[in-house]
Amino acid sequence: MGDRPSTAVLGFRPHTYWTAVVALAGPFDAPRVVARRRVVFAAGRERFVYHQAATLEPARAHALIAEVHAATQANAAREIGDLVADLRRDGVEVRVAVAPTGTAKLPQDLEDILRVHARIHAAEGEFYREVVASACAGLGLEVRRVVERDLPARLGQALRIDGATLEARLKALGAALGPPWNADYRLATQAAWLHLGAP
């Protein structure tokens, strides 16, 4: 494959126990997806950790969250590392990973989070996004963060296109690959695309 690009950016769309990941390469105005995966990094007790912590005494809640962070980060690093290694074997280097963030403003104190169910959900979302970011950093990748809900507007502005045109271009990227090409992969692609070719 002589036209294989030499570098790619990883984009993620994390959930509470897995993440969609896309490797995007090529020029900013005409990228292509060179890999996509569903990476599962949590199972059983590693899922919904803040919900579990809410049933525990404070000391044990802190310990559980630390244990789960270490375990899920190791799992994510293993799976993402496999993807990076597979790409490298194909002659594609990855140096940048983009892990979106949420918008929730959470208290610093764990007990304050665990007292409010909406905060528990928000904390879990940010926890598993942080797991992915930490795993990428541990692999030596430069991690960039962007607010997930801002992705379409920011990317459209960078490309100087409107929302409908951006959706059409994302649809075309998916058509070139075939299914699955759901909202998770499209968001992961936007995260990577925004930083494709960026210094």
**How many distinct structural domains can be found in the chain?**
1
Residue 96's nearest CA partner among 55, 130, 148, 142 is 142
The answer to whether residue 176 sits within a structural domain is yes
Q: Is residue 199, in this structure, part of any structural domain at all? A: no
Measured in Å, how far apart are the chain's first and last C-alpha atoms? Answer: 27
Q: Please report whether residue 2 resides in a domain.
A: no
pLDDT at 45: 82
Residues 126 and 104: beta-carbon distance below 8 Å = yes
Boundaries of domain holding 76: 7-194
* Beta carbons within 8 Å of 26's beta carbon, 6+ residues apart: 5, 32, 196
Neighbours of 93 (CB within 10 A): 12
Q: What is the distance between the alpha carbons of residues 93 and 49, in angstroms, rounded to a whole number? A: 34
Q: Determine how many CB atoms are found less than 10 A away from the CB of residue 59.
A: 8
Q: Please report whether residue 127 resides in a domain.
A: yes
Residues 83-109: tens digit of each pLDDT: 999 999 999 999 999 999 998 899 999
- pLDDT at residue 16 in the model: 87
Q: Which residues of the chain have pLDDT under 50?
A: 1-2
CA atoms within 13 A on the CB side of 174: 18
Q: Does some domain include residue 188?
A: yes
Does residue 16 lie within any of the structural domains?
yes
Residue 168 lies in a domain: yes
pLDDT at 197: 74
The CATH code of the domain that includes 72 is: 3.30.420.10
